[in-house]
Amino acid sequence: MESFTSPTVTQRDQILVEQQVFNIFKTFYNMPPSSQSFMLELQRENHVEYLTNGLKQLGPSFCVLDANRPWICYWILHSIALMDEFVDPELEDNTIDFLGRCQDPNGGYGGGPGQMPHLATTYAAVNSLVTLGGDKALSSINRQKLYSFMRKMKDASGGFRMHDGGEIDVRACYTAISVASLLNILDDELVQNVGNYILSCQTYEGGISGEPGSEAHGGYTFCGLATMILINEVDRLDLSRLIDWVVFQQGVEGGFQGRTNKLVDGCYSFWQGGIFALLKRLNSTKGERSIPLGGGEDSDPESPQTTASSDATDEGLNEDLSQGGSHSEKADQHDTSSRVNVDKIDHNSSKGHAKVEPLFNSLALQQYILLCSQDLNGGLRDKPGKSRDHYHTCYCLSGLSVCQRSWLGDEDSPPLPRAVLGPYSNLLEPIHPLYNVVLDRYQEAEEFFTRS
Ligand SMILES: CC(C)=CCC/C(C)=C/CC/C(C)=C/COP(=O)(O)OP(=O)(O)O
Ligand SMILES: [Zn+2]
């Protein structure tokens, strides 16, 4: 992965994007209601066609982004799953076989058949197989070898290397810990000192950088926060400053920027939006941790004020960007007693949820995704003027799913229609925010890897 070298944007770049976006909004608001409904509609059929065509091209002759083919599988399969669609059985079979050929005999997955195993493509391949689901896909993963690959990637400092001789960064920590957790092979050896590494990457701004001394960035903040939750050390982070940082990354356009003074981009709908989904669920984790989020003094999950409200309030949905009241208190001491991931976010429990108000403007983000990032012919993009691609399609849709549920206290009930911008048919499948896989696919995998 390249280091971030693109310069801070000039005021002119910023004004140009704002103008472009506001022109889109102006045109939209001047349209008759029937055309407005069309503009806000998720063009499911076109997206599925664009994605399915992409998947069909993944053969030996597919050379574009050659070292990224498991990623292309994941971006496409996850996007299709978010829309509750399926790929046909032959294509599914071919994809499982293809990923099998990317699996290294000594564990882990490379960017294509015969390529050196890499933690990022391992994460993409595993998430792809979990998304496909079923015995053939899930049992194709050699978990024993994968575990030994991960041990080889573990550095004495506690961090992980992306590949043999590769860079150590927060991405590597997240991809290793996420995969190990999902496959039920996470243990003390893998976890050791990861928390210290992530902690050393939280910057003065409150967000998390890719490596110590770099700039806070949404992609790394998501990775760092998810990792800390998975290893049960989240309360070591300064969550209050992290929240302050992330709420200020939402632009006037409604979309998120990845870092301070940069342009908004559709993919941060998930990298930044997913952070809110993680924070929202911290109060519903099993165990003793309870972090008050936007509920101020209502930190007791059993108290009447904080008992889950299964729906959003009218007042709340009409509010503009809600930045919440008091944020988290740092716990006095972190609990490392439970190294293995017993403290996962519990999506099956409807008990103990704090009253939820999003800490970001969920409707404004949905508007940015649908009006500015959506290519009506299929696929989603960074911003107006850019081309659609599978990466942005995946992360815009993942962000949209997060937005649609950002008011839900009880994840088991469907969102209110007014929490979903555009027609209710825009509603996407829920994801597990720690792994970014569709929730029911995660549940199938969890069950499979618990018993096998
Ligand atoms: C699981 C996994 C591998 C996660 C990776 C998360 C991550 C770091 C995402 C951001 C990657 C990206 C394309 C940054 C753009 O930097 P830029 O400088 O071109 O753009 P900017 O101006 O928006 O910062
Ligand atoms: Zn992007």
What's 362's domain CATH number?
A: 1.50.10.20
Instruction: Report the pLDDT averaged over residues 330-357.
Output: 41
Is 4 close to ligand 1, i.e. is its CB under 6 Å away? yes
Q: Is the pLDDT of residue 289 over 80?
A: no
Instruction: Report the pLDDT averaged over residues 44-54.
Output: 97
pLDDT digits (tens, 9 = 90+) for 18-32: 999 999 999 999 999
Distance CA 404, CA 419 (A): 6
pLDDT at 59: 66
Helix (H) or strand (E) holding 432: strand 431-432
> How many domains does the chain fold into?
1
To the query of whether residue 78 is one of the catalytic residues in this protein, the response is no
- Under DSSP, the state recorded for 431 is E
Q: Is the pLDDT of residue 67 over 90?
A: no
pLDDT digits (tens, 9 = 90+) for 399-442: 999 999 999 988 788 999 999 999 999 999 999 999 999 999 99
Q: Is residue 168 part of a domain?
A: no
To the query of whether residue 405 is one of the catalytic residues in this protein, the response is no
Distance CA 365, CA 343 (A): 30
Q: Is residue 9 part of a domain?
A: no
pLDDT digits (tens, 9 = 90+) for 345-369: 443 343 433 447 899 999 999 999 9
Q: What is the pTM (predicted TM-score) of this model?
A: 0.86
Instruction: Report the pLDDT averaged over residues 325-344.
Output: 34
Residues with Cβ within 8 Å of residue 333, at least 6 apart in sequence:
none
To the query of whether residue 267 is one of the catalytic residues in this protein, the response is yes
Among the listed residues 154, 161, 163, 262, the single catalytic one is: 262
Q: Is the pLDDT of residue 298 over 70?
A: no
Q: What's the mean per-residue pLDDT of the chain?
A: 85
> How much distance in Å is there from the Cα of 420 to the middle of ligand 2?
23
Among the listed residues 259, 280, 381, 405, the single catalytic one is: 259
> How much distance in Å is there from the Cα of 267 to the middle of ligand 2?
4
Q: Is residue 423 part of a domain?
A: yes
Q: Residue 206 corresponds to which tokens in the numbers above?
A: 């409150």
Does 57 or 258 have the greater pLDDT score? 258
Q: Is the pLDDT of residue 338 over 60?
A: no
Distances from the Cα of 378 to the Cα of 327, 384, 386, 397, 436, angstroms:
39, 14, 14, 12, 22
Question: How far out from the chain centre does Cα 32 lie?
Answer: 35
Q: Is residue 406 part of a domain?
A: yes
HSE-up of residue 195 (Cα within 13 Å, Cβ side): 19
pLDDT at 287: 36
Is 220 close to ligand 1, i.e. is its CB under 6 Å away? yes
To the query of whether residue 327 is one of the catalytic residues in this protein, the response is no
Q: Is residue 355 part of a domain?
A: yes
pLDDT digits (tens, 9 = 90+) for 169-186: 999 999 999 999 999 999
Does 14 or 344 have the greater pLDDT score? 14
Distances from the Cα of 1 to the Cα of 28, 67, 78, 144, angstroms:
38, 11, 22, 27
Instruction: Report the pLDDT averaged over residues 77-83.
Output: 98
Q: Longest C-alpha distance within the chain, in Å? A: 62
Among the listed residues 74, 347, 382, 442, the single catalytic one is: 382
Is 219 close to ligand 1, i.e. is its CB under 6 Å away? yes
CB 235 within 8 A of CB 202: no
Q: Is residue 189 part of a domain?
A: no
Instruction: Report the pLDDT averaged over residues 370-387.
Output: 97
How open is the CA angle 369-266-172, to the nearest 5 degrees?
140
Distance CA 438, CA 436 (A): 7
How open is the CA angle 204-235-403, to the nearest 5 degrees?
80
Q: Is residue 444 part of a domain?
A: yes
Indicate which residue's Cα is closest to atom 12 of ligand 1. 219
> How much distance in Å is there from the Cα of 219 to the middle of ligand 1?
6
Q: Residue 387 corresponds to which tokens in the numbers above?
A: 């081309």
Q: What percent of the chain has pLDDT over 70?
A: 81
pLDDT at 283: 66
| Range(s) of the domain holding residue 415 | 18-57+249-287+343-452
Indicate which residue's Cα is closest to atom 9 of ligand 1. 219
Among the listed residues 118, 154, 161, 217, the single catalytic one is: 217
Indicate which residue's Cα is closest to atom 11 of ligand 1. 219
pLDDT at 60: 61
pLDDT at 284: 62
To the query of whether residue 262 is one of the catalytic residues in this protein, the response is yes
**Measured in Å, how far apart are the chain's first and last C-alpha atoms?**
34
* ipTM rounded to 2 decimals: 0.96
Residue 262 CA, closest ligand 1 atom number: 22
The ligand whose atoms approach the alpha carbon of 269 most closely is 2
User: Any idea which of 209-213, 378-382, 413-417 has the lowest mean pLDDT?
Assistant: 413-417
Indicate which residue's Cα is closest to atom 6 of ligand 1. 219
pLDDT at 310: 33
Among the listed residues 74, 109, 147, 268, the single catalytic one is: 268
pLDDT digits (tens, 9 = 90+) for 248-270: 999 999 999 999 999 999 999 99
> How much distance in Å is there from the Cα of 165 to the middle of ligand 1?
22
Distance CA 167, CA 40 (A): 42
Question: What residues form DSSP beta bridges with 208?
Answer: 202
To the query of whether residue 392 is one of the catalytic residues in this protein, the response is yes
Distance CA 390, CA 396 (A): 10
Indicate which residue's Cα is closest to atom 21 of ligand 1. 258
Residues with Cβ within 8 Å of residue 147, at least 6 apart in sequence:
107, 180, 185
Q: Is residue 263 part of a domain?
A: yes
Is 159 close to ligand 1, i.e. is its CB under 6 Å away? no
To the query of whether residue 109 is one of the catalytic residues in this protein, the response is no
Q: How confident is the model at residue 331 (pLDDT cuts 50, 70, 90)?
A: very low
To the query of whether residue 201 is one of the catalytic residues in this protein, the response is no
Q: Is the pLDDT of residue 232 over 90?
A: yes
> How much distance in Å is there from the Cα of 424 to the middle of ligand 1?
31
